[in-house]
């Protein structure tokens, strides 16, 4: 069994690092560095898409709200059929079946802040602050109900995020690809988390806004929203990588003299480091409440029983666990985590050939960070925000209608299955 785990590690690593090397070389080339060889496999060319139509905000907002409403109505049906069949139920019962796993921690943080302790330790500082703080503010408008505020924040952030996603994709791709990117992200098998009181929606919104403004060359806004993104999850720090890649490519930084490089960096490039402010603010909260700015790393190991490791090792472990552990845990956690990791690596290879290298580099870093923990319970949820993965898939299916139909049907069907499993209390987290 260990042999198959090692083989999985090697294969995933080969695909991953091959795509990364090609994308990095392409970024260097676009940034003005003269390479002594032709980059193999890559056929990416910078193109500007002329946008004639207006952004269909009405359709995007309506579609997002309808999907969220259908998901919420499905939870009522599930409550009636499988969970509570005799006694009458109310809205609080429906909200309660969504309050699982990390939801309770986020809502408690929204109510009480980081002074919460477990056996004398401030173990909840491992959760990033932007989402619970936002929920706390919105709860003033929901009669103090943090659950209602949590649902409101998540659904509004998701609705705004799909509008920005469409605009981001439309910079480089056709209208059809932009629409399909929104569709695939919205019906991804674990996208129901966007409507629940988790941090995914606010992370997605701040991430896509940072990427959008980086592509529009509005560096201050890109850095500002990147800082908010880094204040919502550790992966938000990757916005700095994306902004820096786009900055180097835009100004062909390696073509410039030392004087002009420094001038560009200290006038326009200075905004990329703004992203670090979000991470530093989070570390400051750790210091205020525990006396250690890196306490979250200690707690991950000592309280949450997980530690950082190479993503390929995690992939190998997932295969071993899928083949050997309890079937319910296999189906709920290990198998989907492994399948999504393999799918992401396939999209990396496809993206490295034809697509924007900054998107490939960001996706690679995001995958590696999402699968960095040794006990990877929430990888499918984290991957709902892997934006380039959905863009590459949409571009692939643009002229392949049969593939599009299969992808849509499979995503929608698996979405329904895991939604039911989550609401019924299985380990979908």
Answer whether 371's CB lies under 8 Å from 311's CB. Answer: yes
Express each pLDDT in 13-23 by its tens digit. 999 999 989 88
Per-residue pLDDT averaged across 65-91, rounded?
77
253's enclosing H/E stretch is: none
* The token pair that represents 353 in the structure block: 């050939």
- Taking the C-alpha atoms of residue 13 and residue 325, their distance in angstroms, rounded to an integer, is 24
pTM: 0.94
Q: Which residue carries 């390929």 as its tokens? A: 312
Which of 100, 132, 130, 105 lies closest to 303, judged by CA?
105
322 pLDDT tier (thresholds 50, 70, 90)? confident
Express each pLDDT in 26-59 by its tens digit. 888 888 878 777 776 666 666 666 566 788 889 9
- Taking the C-alpha atoms of residue 229 and residue 205, their distance in angstroms, rounded to an integer, is 8
Q: Residue 202's pLDDT is what?
A: 97
Which of the two residues, 94 and 231, has the higher pLDDT score?
Answer: 231
- Taking the C-alpha atoms of residue 70 and residue 416, their distance in angstroms, rounded to an integer, is 11
Coil, helix or strand for 223? helix
Q: Report the mean per-residue pLDDT for the chain.
A: 88
* The token pair that represents 389 in the structure block: 């993965």
**Side-chain half-sphere CA neighbours of 198 within 13 A:** 23
Answer whether 397's CB lies under 8 Å from 356's CB. Answer: no
Per-residue pLDDT averaged across 171-180, rounded?
94
Answer whether 191's CB lies under 8 Å from 172's CB. Answer: no
Q: Which residue carries 């603010």 as its tokens? A: 281
| pLDDT beyond 60 at 85 | no
Answer whether 261's CB lies under 8 Å from 253's CB. Answer: yes
């Amino acid at each position: 069994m260990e042999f198959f785990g090692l083989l999985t590690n090697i294969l995933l690593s080969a695909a991953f690092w091959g795509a990364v090397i090609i994308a990095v070389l392409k970024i260097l080339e676009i940034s003005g560095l003269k390479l002594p060889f032709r980059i193999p496999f890559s056929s990416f060319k910078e193109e500007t898409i002329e946008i004639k139509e207006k952004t269909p905000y009405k359709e995007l907002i309506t579609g997002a709200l309808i999907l969220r409403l259908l998901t919420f109505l499905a939870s009522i049906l599930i409550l009636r059929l499988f969970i509570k069949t005799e006694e009458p139920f109310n809205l609080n019962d429906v909200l309660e079946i969504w309050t699982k796993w990390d939801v309770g921690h986020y809502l408690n943080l929204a109510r009480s802040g980081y002074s919460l302790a477990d056996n004398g330790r401030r173990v909840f500082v491992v959760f990033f602050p932007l989402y619970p703080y936002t929920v706390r503010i919105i709860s003033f408008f929901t009669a103090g109900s943090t659950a209602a505020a949590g649902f409101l924040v998540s659904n509004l952030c998701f609705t705004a995020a799909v509008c920005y996603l469409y605009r981001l994709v439309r910079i480089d791709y056709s209208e059809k690809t932009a629409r399909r990117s929104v569709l695939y992200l919205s019906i991804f098998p674990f996208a129901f988390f966007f409507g629940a009181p988790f941090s995914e929606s606010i992370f997605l919104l701040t991430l896509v806004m940072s990427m959008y403004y980086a592509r529009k060359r509005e560096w201050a806004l890109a850095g500002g929203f990147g800082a908010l993104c880094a204040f919502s999850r550790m992966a938000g720090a990757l916005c700095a990588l994306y902004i820096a890649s786009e900055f180097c490519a835009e100004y062909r930084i390696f073509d410039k003299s030392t004087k002009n490089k420094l001038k560009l960096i200290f006038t326009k490039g200075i905004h990329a480091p703004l992203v670090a402010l979000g991470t530093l603010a989070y570390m400051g909260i750790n210091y205020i409440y525990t006396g250690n700015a890196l306490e979250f790393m200690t707690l991950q190991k000592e309280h949450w029983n997980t530690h950082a490791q190479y993503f390929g090792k995690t992939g190998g472990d997932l295969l071993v666990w899928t083949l050997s552990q309890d079937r319910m845990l296999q189906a709920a956690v290990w198998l989907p985590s492994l399948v999504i990791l393999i799918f992401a690596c396939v999209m990396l290879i496809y993206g490295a050939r034809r697509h924007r290298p900054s998107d490939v580099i960001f996706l690679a870093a995001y995958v590696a960070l999402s699968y960095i923990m040794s006990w990877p319970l929430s990888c499918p949820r984290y991957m709902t925000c892997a934006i380039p993965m959905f863009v590459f898939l949409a571009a692939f299916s643009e002229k392949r209608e049969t593939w599009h139909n299969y992808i849509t049907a499979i995503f929608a069907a698996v979405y329904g299955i895991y939604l039911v499993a989550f609401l019924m209390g299985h380990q979908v987290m």
